[in-house]
Amino acid sequence: MRRAVRHFSTFRGLVGILTRSMYDEGTPSYAACNAMHSSGARLLRAAQDAGQVRGDLTGDELFDLMSGAARVRENSPADRDGSARFVLMILEGIATRPATG
């Protein structure tokens, strides 16, 4: 997830282009974005099947969370990557917790 967020925010405005392209078949990068989204959904399903990620999270929601983190990174001051903690909080929110006692 951290690598995807870094990739999404490599260039200013890229996350917006990727987000639009995911949902607009008329964009030149739709096929690549769709393939990336499908791969992410398969990884998510594998993590859910292994009990590592909450089962109610959808691929679209995961993509939205990563896009949000990329927007935070893209808009952070040059000397501070605000997405690091943002991603950590997302991961803590979607991870399953072992049952206690």
DSSP track, 41-81: HHHHHHHHHTTSB-TT--HHHHHHHHHHHHHHHHTS-TT--
What does the block give as tokens for 72?
């935070």
What is the token pair recorded at 95? 């991870």
Tens-place pLDDT, residues 41-81: 999 999 999 999 999 999 989 988 888 888 888 877 777 77
Q: Given the structure tokens 């594998």, which residue do they identify?
A: 46
pTM of the model: 0.75
Top pLDDT among 99 and 3 is at 3
Domain boundaries, the chain: 2-94
Count the Cβ atoms, other than its own, within 10 Å of residue 25.
Answer: 9
